[in-house]
Chain A
Amino acid sequence: MFKILKSLSKSLGGGKPAEAKPAAKAGSLLDKVNKGAPLKNEPPKSVEELCGITPKMAKDEIRAQLKLLFRRYNRSASSLDAKIRAEADKMLDAIVQVREKHFGEI
């Protein structure tokens, strides 16, 4: 395995390096190029779907997935961007609901 240096501006294909903004969320830039507009009339996702939990997953896999998501969204919950913070809060609630459903209440 080898590692090639890639700055964000190069990975986005920009010629001129952009000025790095302190504490910029990498996702906010990448999302612009990687994600299309959200589909209209898309049915609301269940908490399992939000957390990427499938019916075939074993308990250990569910636990590991919830831990990974908690780590990610707990960090995002401190973001200065109110939108990211609100999304993170919603995800944290979903993570808690899935835990309660599969492992019982605390």
Chain B
Amino acid sequence: MAEYVGIDLGTTLSGLAYLKPDGNPEIVPNADGERLTHSVVFFDAHEDVKLVGSAARDGGEPDRTIFQIKRYMDDPEHLVEIDGKKWTPAEISALILSKLKRDCSKICGDITEVVITVPANFNELARKSTIAAAEMAGMKVKRLVNEPTAAAVYYAHSQGVKGRILVFDLGGGTLDTTILDVEGDTIKILTSEGARHLGGSNFDDILLDTYAEQYKKQTGAALYTDERHRRRVLQATEDSKKMLSKLQRVNDTVANDQNSGIARIDLTREGFETLIRHMLTRTVFLVEQALDSAKLKPSDIDHVVLVGGSTRIPKVKTILEKMFGKTPKSCGNVDECVALGAALFAKKSAKIQEVCNASYGTLAMVYNAKTQEEKLMNSIVIPKNTPIPCSRSQVYQTSEDNERVIEVDITQGEDEDVKFVDVIGRLTLEVPPNRPKGCEIAVTFSYDENQRVRALVVDKQSGRSKEVAVSYKGAGVLSDEELKRRSAHLRTMRIE
């Protein structure tokens, strides 16, 4: 049995690694001989089989092929309908995880418990969906770990470095930036910032527009009119993008499927970098945000580490080098280090100090005696980046005479402006009658090492209190019974 297993369930590629007896992690190839598996699922119309990986990506019909399901892990309304059955993002992800488990266990032994990586800014529903996917695939999730944390664990292990590290993880679908301190085996996360929908697939889409524009200019016709052909061209743009990381100039030829002729596409690295410049500027903003969150300057960073396939773009390295005044380093294969780090994390998690992924608080009318101004604000009780486990309290006052029910809105987000935070729940507490306004109410949030949050409201005068787990229980979350049923069904499926 493989004791310490880590899985990188990526937007475009997924990988599984295990810890060898010598303490070093190793990637386990799938049954197709590939070290990483494309996160693509194809539902065949003729045979009762689900293809996962490059076979699914290359051959299938677009209507039956599911790409980038990870982008929808927190969307309870995103359902994929195939042959009348509606599949949730967690179920599609479970098919990918099943392929990894079935294929890799033939090499490294039975896999029952795993650490799975998620983007640093994955919200609670996305995290729950990931756990549900693993359970449906027949694996218990020991811990979820943020992708850049896993990469940093691998970097620290393989390079033997110490000091303050900034991990820049630009993958297929997301960007994560994490700053951490490393001292031997002990790792302290200082902050993580993320941008969803900013990754390699966005660059592919931009190149696709260029191809379509060029084709129209040269032939007067549309490059693609259906999803099948759009996918084929998209694959070509991805290949060109990869070549531009090695060459200054790339020539390609494309045709549509209507016999409208062939167009020649000339691309230069400089031109490509101009096309994606606005996206790269967003990555700079995110790095600055991480530095600000940790109250650090670029000169405080000892090592800049590159993770994710999109960091192969030379301009990414140039930008970071200019910003930090040092050459960024990659930890071996940028596509594999997250899975490798997750396998290490499975063993070393006790030595890794993590922080709150988000701020939690409540809505409060804040009165400033000096200015005599009153303003409805998001009052943060437990700030983001507080080392976990932790607990923090704030005392508030009731707003009305004879207030019978105290309502506490639970907010998630860093902004003071209530327009820019999420209200993720409400706690109500009945209190005795006939009391004047201004009674003290203590609100406490606790955050444990599994990123679970609890809220406690105490009426200080009466001593009455109420405590709840702050968790998403709405649409998109399966009951334990339903999870078991779907898991049993999944085990009967042919997945290749």
Write the residues of chain A forming the contact surface with B, with a CB cutoff of 8 angstroms: 1-11, 17, 20-27, 30-31, 66-67, 70-72, 74-78, 80, 85, 92-93, 95-97, 99-100, 105-106
Write the residues of chain B forming the contact surface with A, with a CB cutoff of 8 angstroms: 74-75, 77, 121, 123, 125, 195-197, 277-278, 280-282, 284-286, 288-289, 292, 319, 322, 362-369, 376, 378-379, 394-399, 405-411, 413-415, 417-426, 428, 441, 443, 472-474
Q: Are A106 and B428 in contact (CB under 8 A)?
A: no
Q: Within 8 Å CB of A1, what residues of B?
A: 366-369
Cβ 8 A contact of B397, one of A3, A22, A85, A100: A3
Query: Given A3-B379, A5-B441, A7-B426: A74 and B286 within 8 A (CB)?
Result: yes
Q: Within 8 Å CB of B289, what residues of A?
A: 67, 70-71, 74
Q: Within 8 Å CB of A75, what residues of B?
A: 413-415, 420
> A27 to B422, alpha carbons, bound, how many Å?
8
Q: Within 8 Å CB of A67, what residues of B?
A: 285, 288-289, 292
Q: Which of B121, B197, B423 has the most A CB atoms < 10 Å from its CB?
A: B423
Distance from A24 Cβ to chain B, minimum over Cβ atoms (Å): 5
Q: Are A27 and B406 in contact (CB under 8 A)?
A: no
Q: Within 8 Å CB of B408, what residues of A?
A: 5, 7
Closest 9 pairs between A and B when the two form their complex, measured CB to CB: A27-B419, A7-B407, A20-B426, A78-B196, A22-B474, A3-B364, A4-B365, A5-B396, A70-B285
Q: Are B423 and A4 in contact (CB under 8 A)?
A: no
Q: Which of A11, A74, A76, A80 has the most B CB atoms < 10 Å from its CB?
A: A74
> A54 to B124, alpha carbons, bound, how many Å?
38
Q: Which of B75, B397, B420 has the most A CB atoms < 10 Å from its CB?
A: B420
16 chain-A/chain-B pairs, Cβ below 8 angstroms: A2-B366, A3-B365, A5-B398, A8-B363, A11-B376, A17-B405, A21-B423, A26-B411, A26-B419, A67-B285, A67-B289, A74-B195, A75-B415, A80-B74, A96-B285, A99-B285
Q: Are A22 and B473 in contact (CB under 8 A)?
A: yes
Distance from B419 Cβ to chain A, minimum over Cβ atoms (Å): 4
Cβ 8 A contact of A77, one of B74, B196, B278, B369: B196
> A3 to B2, alpha carbons, bound, how many Å?
53
Q: Which A residue sits closest to B280, measured CB to CB?
A: A106
Q: Within 8 Å CB of A80, what residues of B?
A: 74-75, 77
Q: Which of B121, B426, B441, B473 has the most A CB atoms < 10 Å from its CB?
A: B426
Q: Which B residue sits closest to A23, measured CB to CB?
A: B422
> A76 to B368, alpha carbons, bound, how many Å?
29
Q: Which A residue sits closest to B439, measured CB to CB?
A: A5
> A85 to B74, alpha carbons, bound, how many Å?
14
Q: Within 8 Å CB of A71, what residues of B?
A: 289, 414-415
Q: Within 8 Å CB of A27, what residues of B?
A: 418-420
Q: Are B423 and A24 in contact (CB under 8 A)?
A: yes
> A70 to B125, alpha carbons, bound, how many Å?
24
Query: Given A67-B288, A92-B282: A11 and B365 within 8 A (CB)?
Result: yes
Q: Are A95 and B285 in contact (CB under 8 A)?
A: yes
Q: Are B281 and A106 in contact (CB under 8 A)?
A: yes
Q: Within 8 Å CB of B473, what residues of A?
A: 22
Query: Given A8-B423, A26-B419, A27-B419: A96 and B369 within 8 A (CB)?
Result: no
> A42 to B125, alpha carbons, bound, how many Å?
39
